[in-house]
Structure 1
Amino acid sequence: MHRRAAALAVPLTAIALAVSSCGSIPEDWKTPAFLRMNEEEFDPRLPDVTGEVGEEPQITFPDAQPPEEEISGVVDKGPGENGLVGADDLLVANVVQYQWTGPGEGEEMEGQSSYETGAPDLVRMAEMPEYITDTLVSQPLGSRAVYVFPALTQEEREQAEAMGQEAPEGASVLVIDIMDRYSKGAVVPGEQTEEGGGDLPTVTQEGHSEPTIEIPDTDPPEDLEVLPLIEGQGAEVEEGQQVIAQYTGVRWEADENGGHEVFDSTWSRGGDPFDTTIGAGAVIEGWDKGMVGQKVGSRLLLVVPGDQAYGETEEEAMGGPVGTLVFVIDILGAYDNPPQPEPEELEGDGGEQAGDGAADEEAEEE
């Protein structure tokens, strides 16, 4: 459902690239500090990280030179509620990065703390390198992991800077607090109390499956229609937040065979939850208007007229589906975005202009 835009890199991804020679760590550098063979032997070379998970950590650097290999460990295990981290999960994590410059010496890197910005990172495990995910997989929510990456060589520093990444001085330390997780096929809890019907589409959905949407044999409504099928119990979605959702979309107008085939759906991509910024023009207008103010945990039926989607004609749609569109959306979560940089901090013209529409991801794949 994204409009095409310049890549919005997950901050953790950028950090991992910068501290790991642009994503390549030799096998002999990978020394997990938390051994997984039923023993919890901890590597004393790791910095001492204390404080409650979910709050800014306190860190004490060992009175020794940073190690010359990458080490990692889980320094605080969560309570084990709500399942364990899976290899394909979308994680909500608080992330802080530090520089370890010498024996007992180090400092937090400016602008590299999600606790400072008030906005957690959304981390797609399947897109992260193994030296990050190996430590996180099978850990319970509420766990805290610590990574130490050796100092970059001059060549590696030049590579990082060429990619637009800040090259840290000395070794790098990364602290990741696992706050929440969304797995493949995630849906909102509860039973549907509404199905639509009448002049609106009828929606049925069983468990963790793609919804079935039946379009009535009537003209579509002229205005945006928003009908909660499940009333969520969470906070209201705010403009500018990162929203995590499952969704399916069909056209109101039938095809030549009289059907209403799905034109875009997270379920067609294995049920991977979708994330986007809402209320800021990153998606179609009907999503921005229809989702802001709705509660997290809600399942919505959205009927979006063409003028709030991709247009009423092929020329207007520019490859997107034409006319009135119907969506069923599960709002799984909503989180604040980092504050935008001040205008004087932006370089050039601000980057590539966002493109047009929900079918962009699908078009790119094709």
Structure 2
Amino acid sequence: MKLRTSAGAVALTLAATLTLTACSDGGSGSEESASPSASSSSSAADEMPQPTKEDVAALEAVKVEGKAGKEPKLSYDKPFEVSAPTSRVVDEGDGAELTEGVQVTMQHVAYDGGAKKVASTWDQGAPTSFMLGDAQFGILTEPLVGQKVGARVLVANPVQAQDGSTQTSVNLVEITDVKKIPTRAEGEAVEPAKGLPTVTLDDSGKPSVEIPKDYKAPKKLTAQTLIKGDGPKVKENQTVTAHYSGWTLDGKQFDSSWDRGTPSSFSLQQVIPGWTQGLAGQTVGSQVLLVIPADQAYGAEKSEQNPLGGETLVFVVDVLDAK
């Protein structure tokens, strides 16, 4: 699932500065990808390069000005560089403990190697949420697991720029909330319309799909509720936490949060139009079958950079939370 690059610039920048694969060996990914095809966070973390003594010393020298609850100012000698992801706890929290698999809400400010602020959730006007263990925010998994709500943590990360050069991002993360959410859709089963792809769930709730041989790609978006949750209705401007899998019409799976082992969070203002239109109005706890024509997915043109262009896509989405 790729994000729209024309919206949500702050969220994209924040994700890019904290992306696990930004500069790790053999990694792939960019700020456009909300759910990169990556291994689980634990194995990816094992492959992550470790900071040197010089990296640790450099981060120790970063000065954090300002009290918790407000955007801090970071200052340091420039150019600032580290060779590997490096973290430092600035303040211990005293709230609920963070464990892998919980939903974490955080405020976050990012600076570049030249000590210039590049993005801030305080400027955006609202914190951001993610699943601890989600590969998109994989850099945060190790430093945050075991911390408590209220903690402030510095994270420095070498990030590969568009021109191929490496720049270091310096981030201050403040944890404001933590929440356990369901691992699968829960609610009342809904009988789907005839002729649609058939969805089967395994014992964990992971879906598989069978597409009828005579199935014709629809010209308009199909959004079929399979399980009706009893939570609040999802709005177009919210961030949704979801488990999902996606297939092309030939039945080939191209993405799955189930395979990565952790649900993903998406702003509905940053995903493909079929997701925005298909999930808005659904209720939290629901499972939804989406059949999305190319013009509401990745467009008509297929290319090396856009391999899903021209494809009608099938998704099964478990809506676990919305903020």
Whole-angstrom CA distance in 1 between matches of 2:172 and 2:313: 47
Secondary structure, counterpart of 1:307 in structure 2: helix
CA distance in 1, matches of 2:309, 2:224: 22
Which AA in structure 2 matches 1:120?
A: T
* Residue in structure 2 matched with residue 180 of structure 1 by the alignment: 179
Deviation at 1:244, TM superposition (A): 2.3
Find the counterpart in structure 2 of residue 190 from structure 1: 186
Query: Does structure 1 residue 10 correspond to structure 2 residue 24?
Result: no
CA separation of 1:29 and 1:193: change in aligned 2, threshold 3 A: same
The letter for the 2-side match of 1:333 is D
State the one-letter code of the partner of 1:206. D
Deviations 1:59-104 (A, max 9, x none): 9xxxxxxxxx9555533132x7xxx512xx474323377xxxxxxx
Q: 3-state DSSP class of the match of 2:276?
A: helix
Partner letter of residue 253 of structure 2?
A: V
Q: What is the rounded CA distance, in whole Å, between the counterparts of 1:217 and 1:306 in structure 2?
A: 20
Q: Does the Cα contact within 8 Å between 2:293 and 2:312 map onto a contact in 1? A: yes
Structure 2 stretches lacking a partner, 5+ long? 19-50, 59-64, 73-86, 110-116, 156-165
**Stretches of structure 1 lacking an aligned partner (at least 5 in a row):** 15-22, 31-46, 51-55, 60-68, 98-108, 150-161, 167-171, 255-259, 336-366
Counterpart selection for 2:312 from 321, 324, 337: 324
TM-score (normalised: structure 1): 0.52
Shift of 1:334: 2.5
Q: Which one of the candidate residues 207, 214, 223 is aligned to 2:210?
A: 214
- Residues 195 and 202 of structure 1 are in contact (CA less than 8 Å); yes or no, is this contact kept in structure 2? no
- Structure 2 residue aligned with 1:77, among 95, 98, 102? 95
CA distance in 1, matches of 2:122, 2:154: 18
Residue type of the alignment partner of 2:315: F
Which amino acid counterpart does residue 2 of structure 1 have in structure 2? K
What is the SS of the residue equivalent to 1:144? coil
* TM norm structure 2: 0.57
1:145 corresponds to which of 146, 151, 171: 151
**Correspondent of 2:256 among 265, 285, 303:** 265
Partner of 2:266, secondary structure, is: strand
Give the counterpart of 2:297 among 309, 318, 322.
Answer: 309
Percent identity for Structure 1 against Structure 2: 29
- Residues 91, 303 of structure 1: alpha-carbon distance in 2 compared, 3 angstrom cutoff: same
Coordinate RMSD, CA, aligned? 4.8
Equivalent residue, structure 1, for 2:106: 94
- The change in CA–CA distance for 1:275 and 1:173 in structure 2 (over 3 A counts) is closer
Is the 8 Å Cα contact of residues 185 and 319 (structure 2) preserved in structure 1? no
Deviations 1:153-184 (A, max 9, x none): xxxxxxxxx95979xxxxx98642232357xx
2:2 is aligned with what amino acid? Answer: H
Range 241-250 or range 4-13, more displaced: 4-13
The equivalent of 1:245 in structure 2 is 242
Partner of residue 32, structure 2: none
Alignment check: 8 A CA contact 2:284 2:322 kept: yes
